[in-house]
Structure 1
């Protein structure tokens, strides 16, 4: 039975393992407990013969706000890389569903899903550059999905964009209204057919891990350790503008 106080809940719905991010007090940020909870849920689903797919969803008005900047020992680039790779390598297809806000590392989580849907109130933003950081590790899953010109714009500006634009950029597969049909299609498929089809579609993303993961993790660690990022994070937590904002 899932611990009611845990930040991740797991339930089952006709062959779909529903993994719910349930830490609304910190906007489902990537705390160590949340990351380990998602990893455990993926492992459980992988070993369940009756499970056809995983639905990764959330409670509250935010799918995931990215790193938990309030943790004493926040999730590092190695842990985030491992989580993203686990989503991509899972033999069971993963469908990400957001009906709320997705920020920073949460975009990497959504992009790691094989299929992603978004409701009309969903919003998206790469906020890292405004904090003195960069979308380093999440680029492993984001850049293979997004159109290059869109990635350039939103990485650099930190602008908020909506669900329709997320679909146009390739970050999201479809609107939330498509979810039932997607899940029914997955339920109709064979376990072997799903696993082998996913192996084909995920190959390019896994190549990005093999090629770039170490360098991007090093970049992330270097930026988080910088004085400029420390000031950016302080400004964010104190809800004030960073000193470089004009």
Structure 2
């Protein structure tokens, strides 16, 4: 059994992903810390990072130790949470190793890191098809997918998903607003430009969609969930699972 604590410090790039923001419900602060329950706990846990380097972890650790140092030696383990962008090319792995070794030697505890986005970062694609192209001030490509239902973080965070062979609006010859097929007016992936004009039936491929997409996908408006498939090295595609109307119906009745 462990207890989540709030070090009251984070360098999270967006407030929505900041677990140490004012009035956060995530983790007890030192002011509200009840040390009497530690007899039932084996470890303490904090999570204060979001897609960040070991420099950010170093700063969080300083605040964590400052607030909870007297309790750490009583624990068997400390969980440094997730948000470590370990697989990013410029991530300072050596600093992470040094921080963990130093902490373990100082307090004689085990250290855990939570597997997170880094495991699936820059993997997986969402393959969509152009259903229609309309014009209303600019060309709009309607896809058989949805930012709201299939890529909610592009709206919530928000962030701009990368599209294969596409650039920002105006950088290439043909610019389109890529839009979803739900009733939500804001179901829009963004404006992208292409070397060739899009046609009905063309594939538009969103990159880096493995993390926080399948697990967050919904059947809003009765939109079908994307099929899950594996593309083999040889090029053939294996369909792992397909979804249909029954999946939508069973979730509601």
TM > 0.5: no
Structure with higher helix content: 1
The alignment's TM-score, normalised by the length of structure 2, stands at 0.27
Give 1 or 2 for the bigger CA radius of gyration.
2
The alignment's TM-score, normalised by the length of structure 1, stands at 0.28
Give the structure, 1 or 2, with the largest relative contact order (CA under 8 Å, sep 6 or more): 1
